[in-house]
Structure 1
Amino acid sequence: MGGAPRPVRGGQGTTCAVAVMAKAPRSGLSKTRLCPPLAPDHAAALSAAFLRDTTDNLFAAARGAPIIPYAAYAPAGSEEAVKLHLAPGTALVLADGSAAAPSGVDGFGRCLFQAVEALLILGHAAACVLSSDVPTLPTRLLVEAARLLLEPGERGVLGACDDGGYYLLGLKRVHARLFADIAWSTDAVAGTTRRRAAEIGLDLVEIEAWYDVDDAAALERMRTEAHGYGAPATRAALSRLAIPDAVTA
């Protein structure tokens, strides 16, 4: 399962790498914005289920587009703990913000920049970073993002979230300005990214917005979601942990 990525060769240079931003699920450190209503152990279990569903979804999307699934993990040394929760065959790249980054690229932006840079260095034609908080993201949106990026010409692809962030950013070249001087974890992230793209003259194509599960309201929405990816691991976790009762109590 998983393993260190190798440089792509030959026809694989026409692929789009998609990496979910992944941390090993840990009680008290995972999905803390869901505590309450969830207990820390339940939040960590749900985080693990999100990772499995998201990477399974990437492999489903790979049947419709030349996608190579990755997990961009942190911190260093947590490879084995992360791999436990990934779909078999998911490759790993380190994205802990430790690599050198241009001035102004700070915080979570360093992790995103590191992930995109690493994937493109491996030889993929395009690279996407993907939130780990979108277990019900429709598979078709992953396929659409990859297809758009692999068309001739320079562009980026943005999948915005309802809360002002984004769940996906795809690029064919590393553009540091897209990660610089951004107030991460705020409702300004997607808007600032759009302005940064305009500043550097990058055509930023937007795909359908979706929602990330990072608060009680979004968790309730996910419970009744009927139009996205089925997210079987997450559904099983909700049932096994009696999370619906915790949410509605």
Structure 2
Amino acid sequence: MTTLLVIAKEPRPGRVKTRLTPPYTPEEAAALAEAALADTLSAVLATPADRRVLVLDGKPGPWLPPGVEVVPQCAGGLDERLAAAFADCVGPTLLIGMDTPQVTAELLTSGADFTDCDAWFGPAEDGGFWALGLADPDPALLRGVPMSTPTTGAVQRARLTAAGLRVRDLPRLRDVDTAYDAWLVAEQVMVQGQGSRFAAEYERVGAGVRRAGVERPDVERSVVGR
């Protein structure tokens, strides 16, 4: 039984994507977060799985599509919340966040295939990770890992290998945390030709990075796989 988990916050102004403000307003940041979550859930729904679960901090809204089960996040630090999400699963499980709207069903399908490995690890540009897959979910593999640091990903991956697991890596992706990240990711999905609510919302609310005076990044070199 394969499970896909998405851990997310309710996209409510003032409590989500606060690092986007400024240059975005709290309402604009929440709109971008909602679009990122919608794109993520769309990719999840297009990926073969037995269960698709949104592990949510907050309440579901009209942005929630049919076919996704919702469970509340537990209390505690992020490591405890991730561990608890895995604890509720039986069989192969792939967990992702809501911060990578450029994710595709093809990537998730790869990360849910444990034919020749015990774990999948998706590194993030900021040193964290955007995906973690376990053939045999064990919450102990996450508890105690320091989260939201430049070495979070390295520590988490080392925890997997120290447990004797055969680990395969997914492509490195960029989380949307800052206005600069939002610019890069929005242009990446446009270059790739993906239909993206995130890219459309980015255009609708305005190019905040330009308002902030951030120099245009080299998008072509930033696209995953180049």
**Alignment TM-score > 0.5, same fold:** yes
1:74 to 43, 57, 60: 57
Encode CA deviations 1:101-139: one digit per residue, 9 max, x unaligned: xxxxx610111111111122xxxx211110100001133
Report matched runs for 1:106-117 at 5 Å.
107-117=77-87
What amino acid does structure 2 have at the position aligned with 1:135?
A: P
The answer to whether the 8 A contact 1:137-1:228 is kept is: no
1:91 match: 69
User: Structure 1 residues 83, 90: closer, same or farther in 2, change over 3 A?
Assistant: farther
Counterpart CA distance in 2 for 1:131 and 1:165 is 11
Which stretches in structure 2 are left out of the alignment for 5+ residues? 212-226
Query: What number of residue pairs does the alignment pair up?
Result: 210
Distance (Å, rounded) in 2 between the aligned partners of 1:231 and 1:117 = 34
Deviation per residue, 1:57-94 (Å, 9 max, x gap): 112223xxx4532211124xx2xxx2422222111122
Structure 1 gaps, min length 5 = 1-12, 98-105
Equivalent residue of 1:128, what SS?
strand
The question of 1:219 aligning with 2:201 is answered: no
The answer to whether the Cα contact below 8 Å between 1:126 and 1:171 also exists between their aligned partners in 2 is yes
* Residue in structure 1 matched with residue 33 of structure 2 by the alignment: 47
What code does the residue aligned with 1:144 have? S
Is the alpha carbon distance of 1:204 and 1:227 closer, same or farther for their aligned partners in structure 2, counting shifts above 3 Å? Answer: farther
The counterpart of 2:119, out of the listed 156, 181, 185, is 156
Residue identity (%): 26
Matches within 5 A, 1:1-249: 13=1, 16-62=2-48, 66=49, 68-75=51-58, 78=59, 82-97=60-75, 107-120=77-90, 125-147=91-113, 149=114, 151=115, 155-225=118-188, 226=190, 230-242=194-206, 244=207, 246-249=208-211
Give the TM-score of the pair, scaled to structure 1. Answer: 0.77
The 2-side partners of 1:28 and 1:161 are apart by 24
Tell me by how many angstroms 1:56 deviates. Answer: 0.6
Equivalent AA in structure 2 for residue 178 of structure 1: L
Name the amino acid aligned to 2:87: E
Tell me the CA shift for residue 231 of structure 1.
5.0
1:18 corresponds to which letter in structure 2? Answer: L
Distance 2:50 2:153 in 1: 24
How far does residue 229 in structure 1 lie from its aligned partner after superposition?
7.5
Q: Taking structure 1 as reference, are residues 34 and 140 closer, same or farther at Cα in structure 2, changes over 3 Å only?
A: same
Shift of 1:184: 0.8
SS in structure 2 opposite 1:61?
coil
What's 1:3 paired with?
A: none
C-alpha distance 144-229 of structure 1, shift in aligned 2 (>3 A): farther
Equivalent residue letter for 2:210: T
RMSD (Å), alpha carbons: 2.0
